[in-house]
Chains A and B, each alone.
Chain A
Amino acid sequence: MNETHHHPSKTGTQERVVVKDVSYSTDPADFAYMSLNVPCQSACPAYTNIPAYIRALYEGEYGTSYELNRMVNVLPGVLGRICSRPCEEVCRHGEPELGKPVNICHIKRAASDFKTAGHIYLEKFFAPQGKRVCIVGAGPAGLAAAHDLTTIGIEVTLLEAFDEPGGMLRYGIPEFRLPREILNAEIGSIVRLGVTMETGVRVGSDVSVEDLLNRYDAVLMAAGCYVAKELEIPGDTLSGVIPGLDFVMDVTTGGTPEIGKNVLVIGAGFTAFDCARMALRLGADDVAICIRATEEELRVTQDEILEAKREGVQIKGLMASRRVVGRDNVEGVEFLRTRLGDRLPNGKRKIVPIEGSQFILPADSVLTAIGQGAEPIVSPGEKDRRGVLKGDPMTFLTSVPNLYVTGDFMTGPSTVIESIAGGRRAAERIAEDLTGKKFREWAVRIEEAQVTDRQREWDYIPRSEMPTVLPVQDRFKTGNIEVEKGFSPERSHIESQRCYLCYLHYEIDISRCIYCRYCIDVAPRDCIKLVNEVVTDENGAVTGFVETTSWEDVNAVVIDNSRCIRCGECLRVCPTDCISVSKVELVERMLQTGRD
Chain B
Amino acid sequence: MAQEHCVIIGNGPAANAAAFTLRENDSDVRITVIGEECDHQYRPDLLPDYIAGTVAEEDLFIGRSEPYKQCDIKLRLGQRVVNVDFQSRELVLEHNEMIRFTGLIIACGAKPRIPEPLEVFEDLMLTLKTPADARDWIDRLAHVDDVLIVGGDLTSLSLTRALLHLGKRVTFLINGGSFWPVPFSSELRDEVARRLIERGIEVTECSKIRRMVKVSDHAVEVRTDCRTMTVGILGAFFGLVPNVKFLARSGLDIERGVLVDEYLKTSVDNVYAAGDCAQVYHPGIHDYWVSIGYANAVELGKTAALNLLGDMVPVNVERESILKIDGINVNTSWWTEF
Contacts of B116 in A (CB 8 A): 306, 309-310, 312
Contacts of A354 in B (CB 8 A): 281, 283
* A296 vs B247: C-alpha distance when bound (angstroms): 10
A296-B255 in contact (CB<8A): yes
Does A356 sit at the interface, judged by CB under 8 A?
yes
Selecting from B24-32, B90-98, B156-164, B327-335, the interface stretch reads B90-98
A97-B96 in contact (CB<8A): yes
Q: With A312-B117, A337-B281, A339-B281 given, is the CB distance from A296 to B211 under 8 Å? A: no
Contacts of A358 in B (CB 8 A): 286
* A312 vs B283: C-alpha distance when bound (angstroms): 29
Q: Measured between C-beta atoms, what is the minimum distance from B214 to chain A in Å?
A: 14
B83-A340 in contact (CB<8A): no
A96-B83 in contact (CB<8A): yes
Contacts of B248 in A (CB 8 A): 296
* A472 vs B119: C-alpha distance when bound (angstroms): 11
Q: Measured between C-beta atoms, what is the minimum distance from B114 to chain A in Å?
A: 11
Contacts of B84 in A (CB 8 A): 96
Does B120 sit at the interface, judged by CB under 8 A?
yes
Q: Which residue of A lies closest to B261 (CB)?
A: A339
A470-B120 in contact (CB<8A): yes
Does B184 sit at the interface, judged by CB under 8 A?
no
Interface of chain A residues 341 through 384 with chain B (CB within 8 A): 354, 356-359
B117-A311 in contact (CB<8A): yes
Does A480 sit at the interface, judged by CB under 8 A?
no
B98-A337 in contact (CB<8A): no
Does A269 sit at the interface, judged by CB under 8 A?
no
Among A97, A339, A356, the one with the most B-chain Cβ atoms within 10 Å of its Cβ is: A97
Contacts of A309 in B (CB 8 A): 116-117
Contacts of B287 in A (CB 8 A): 337, 359
Q: With A337-B281, A340-B259, A472-B117 given, is the CB distance from A96 to B288 under 8 Å? A: no
- Which single member of A311, A317, A359 contacts B255 (CB below 8 Å)? A317
Q: Measured between C-beta atoms, what is the minimum distance from B250 to chain A in Å?
A: 8
* A96 vs B84: C-alpha distance when bound (angstroms): 7
* A96 vs B98: C-alpha distance when bound (angstroms): 10
Contacts of A359 in B (CB 8 A): 286-287
* A358 vs B283: C-alpha distance when bound (angstroms): 10
Q: With A96-B85, A337-B286 given, is the CB distance from A318 to B117 under 8 Å? A: no
* A354 vs B287: C-alpha distance when bound (angstroms): 10
Contacts of B64 in A (CB 8 A): none
Interface of chain A residues 325 through 345 with chain B (CB within 8 A): 337, 339-340
Does A254 sit at the interface, judged by CB under 8 A?
no
Q: Measured between C-beta atoms, what is the minimum distance from A436 to chain B in Å?
A: 47
Q: With A318-B288, A340-B267 given, is the CB distance from A96 to B90 under 8 Å? A: yes
Q: Measured between C-beta atoms, what is the minimum distance from B69 to chain A in Å?
A: 29
Among B85, B90, B116, B254, the one with the most A-chain Cβ atoms within 10 Å of its Cβ is: B116
Does B249 sit at the interface, judged by CB under 8 A?
yes
* A373 vs B218: C-alpha distance when bound (angstroms): 57
Contacts of B283 in A (CB 8 A): 354, 356-357
Does B253 sit at the interface, judged by CB under 8 A?
yes
Q: Which residue of A lies closest to B285 (CB)?
A: A359
Does B194 sit at the interface, judged by CB under 8 A?
no
Q: Measured between C-beta atoms, what is the minimum distance from A350 to chain B in Å?
A: 12
Q: Measured between C-beta atoms, what is the minimum distance from B290 to chain A in Å?
A: 13
* A312 vs B249: C-alpha distance when bound (angstroms): 24
B286-A471 in contact (CB<8A): no
Does B210 sit at the interface, judged by CB under 8 A?
yes
- Which single member of A296, A339, A470 contacts B249 (CB below 8 Å)? A296
Q: Measured between C-beta atoms, what is the minimum distance from A291 to chain B in Å?
A: 10
Q: Measured between C-beta atoms, what is the minimum distance from B222 to chain A in Å?
A: 12
Interface of chain B residues 221 through 272 with chain A (CB within 8 A): 248-249, 253-256, 259, 267
* A6 vs B331: C-alpha distance when bound (angstroms): 88
Q: Measured between C-beta atoms, what is the minimum distance from B238 to chain A in Å?
A: 13
Contacts of B85 in A (CB 8 A): 96
Q: Measured between C-beta atoms, what is the minimum distance from B270 to chain A in Å?
A: 19
* A472 vs B281: C-alpha distance when bound (angstroms): 34
Does A473 sit at the interface, judged by CB under 8 A?
yes
Q: Which residue of B lies closest to A349 (CB)?
A: B253
B253-A294 in contact (CB<8A): yes
Interface of chain B residues 88 through 141 with chain A (CB within 8 A): 90, 92, 96, 98, 116-117, 119-121
Q: With A337-B288, A354-B281, A359-B286 given, is the CB distance from A96 to B117 under 8 Å? A: no
Contacts of A470 in B (CB 8 A): 120
Contacts of A357 in B (CB 8 A): 281, 283, 286
* A277 vs B287: C-alpha distance when bound (angstroms): 26
Q: Measured between C-beta atoms, what is the minimum distance from A512 to chain B in Å?
A: 32
Does A295 sit at the interface, judged by CB under 8 A?
yes
Q: Measured between C-beta atoms, what is the minimum distance from A283 to chain B in Å?
A: 14
- Which single member of B211, B249, B288 contacts A473 (CB below 8 Å)? B211
* A221 vs B259: C-alpha distance when bound (angstroms): 45
Q: Measured between C-beta atoms, what is the minimum distance from B281 to chain A in Å?
A: 6
Q: Measured between C-beta atoms, what is the minimum distance from A363 to chain B in Å?
A: 15
Q: Which residue of A lies closest to B120 (CB)?
A: A470
Contacts of A96 in B (CB 8 A): 83-85, 90, 92
Interface of chain A residues 58 through 98 with chain B (CB within 8 A): 96-97
B286-A294 in contact (CB<8A): no
B253-A296 in contact (CB<8A): yes
A310-B120 in contact (CB<8A): yes
* A340 vs B253: C-alpha distance when bound (angstroms): 8
* A264 vs B209: C-alpha distance when bound (angstroms): 23
* A471 vs B121: C-alpha distance when bound (angstroms): 9
Q: B59-103 vs A: 1/0 string, CB under 8 Å?
A: 000000000000000000000000111000010100010100000
Q: Measured between C-beta atoms, what is the minimum distance from A483 to chain B in Å?
A: 13
Contacts of B267 in A (CB 8 A): 340
* A339 vs B119: C-alpha distance when bound (angstroms): 30
* A317 vs B83: C-alpha distance when bound (angstroms): 23
* A294 vs B254: C-alpha distance when bound (angstroms): 7
* A132 vs B196: C-alpha distance when bound (angstroms): 79
* A337 vs B121: C-alpha distance when bound (angstroms): 34
Q: Measured between C-beta atoms, what is the minimum distance from A39 to chain B in Å?
A: 15
- Which single member of B121, B210, B254, B286 contacts A296 (CB below 8 Å)? B254
- Which single member of B96, B120, B281 contacts A471 (CB below 8 Å)? B120
Interface of chain A residues 293 through 321 with chain B (CB within 8 A): 294-296, 306, 309-312, 317-318
* A472 vs B209: C-alpha distance when bound (angstroms): 11
Q: Which residue of A lies closest to B207 (CB)?
A: A285
* A357 vs B281: C-alpha distance when bound (angstroms): 10
Q: A468-481 vs B: 1/0 string, CB under 8 Å?
A: 00111100000000
B249-A97 in contact (CB<8A): no
A310-B119 in contact (CB<8A): yes
* A471 vs B267: C-alpha distance when bound (angstroms): 38
* A309 vs B286: C-alpha distance when bound (angstroms): 25
Contacts of B286 in A (CB 8 A): 337, 356-359
Contacts of B210 in A (CB 8 A): 471, 473
Q: Which residue of B lies closest to A96 (CB)?
A: B83
Interface of chain B residues 142 through 162 with chain A (CB within 8 A): none
Q: A244-275 vs B: 1/0 string, CB under 8 Å?
A: 00000000000000000000000000000000
* A274 vs B117: C-alpha distance when bound (angstroms): 17
Q: Which residue of A lies closest to B249 (CB)?
A: A296
Q: Which residue of A lies closest to B209 (CB)?
A: A471
Can you list 16 pairs linking A and B with CB atoms under 8 Å apart? A294-B259, A296-B253, A296-B254, A317-B256, A318-B288, A337-B281, A339-B281, A340-B259, A354-B281, A358-B286, A359-B287, A470-B120, A471-B120, A471-B210, A472-B117, A473-B211
9 A-B pairs besides A340-B259, A340-B267, A472-B120 with CB distance below 8 A are A96-B84, A96-B90, A295-B255, A296-B249, A310-B119, A317-B256, A337-B281, A359-B287, A471-B121
Nearest 7 CB-CB pairs, A to B? A309-B116, A96-B83, A294-B255, A97-B92, A357-B286, A310-B116, A470-B120
